[in-house]
């Protein structure tokens, strides 16, 4: 799992933007994209439908992901933040190099 896409969601667009800048400034992610979406979920035995903002990021996997996860948890406003890493099974050599160049460590 050399490279991953990581996603997390936020209640407010400003929070998603702040997290993107926070992670980019620390070279924990190479790219961050924000999408508006409607979430349907269960929380503490109640069903909810909410508008949220998804932050989708490209980064390194393995132990490096743990650094990203820790940074997200440090700043996230949700009690239990969605932090999901999906392995990127194939990507161009040039894009892989770009991720490596734009993420530290």
Q: Is residue 6 within 8 Å of residue 59, measured between CB atoms?
A: yes
Q: What pLDDT, on a 0 to 100 scale, did the predictor assign at position 103? A: 96
Q: What pLDDT, on a 0 to 100 scale, did the predictor assign at position 104? A: 84
Record the pTM. Answer: 0.93
Q: What is the pLDDT of residues 2-17, one digit of tens each?
A: 999 999 999 999 999 9
Kindly report each contact of residues 37-46 with a partner whose C-beta sits within 8 Å and lies 24 or more positions away, as own/partner: 37/9, 39/9
CATH of the domain spanning 3-101 = 3.30.70.120
- The residue extents of the domains of the chain are 3-101
Q: What is the pLDDT of residues 30-80, one digit of tens each?
A: 999 999 999 999 999 999 999 999 999 999 999 999 999 999 999 999 999
Q: How many degrees, rounded to 5, is the angle at CA 9 between CA 37 and CA 81? A: 145
pLDDT at residue 92 tops 60: yes
Take residue 21 and report the two structure tokens written for it: 């800048």
């Amino acid at each position: 799992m050399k490279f991953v896409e990581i996603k997390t969601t936020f209640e407010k667009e400003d929070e998603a933007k702040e997290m993107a800048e926070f992670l980019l400034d620390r070279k924990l992610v190479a790219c961050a994209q924000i999408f508006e979406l409607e979430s349907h979920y269960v929380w503490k035995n109640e069903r909810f439908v909410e508008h949220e903002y998804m932050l989708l990021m490209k980064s390194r996997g393995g132990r490096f992901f743990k650094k990203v996860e820790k940074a997200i948890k440090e700043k996230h406003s949700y009690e239990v933040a969605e932090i999901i890493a999906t392995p990127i099974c194939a990507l161009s050599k040039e894009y892989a190099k770009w991720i490596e160049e734009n993420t530290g460590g």
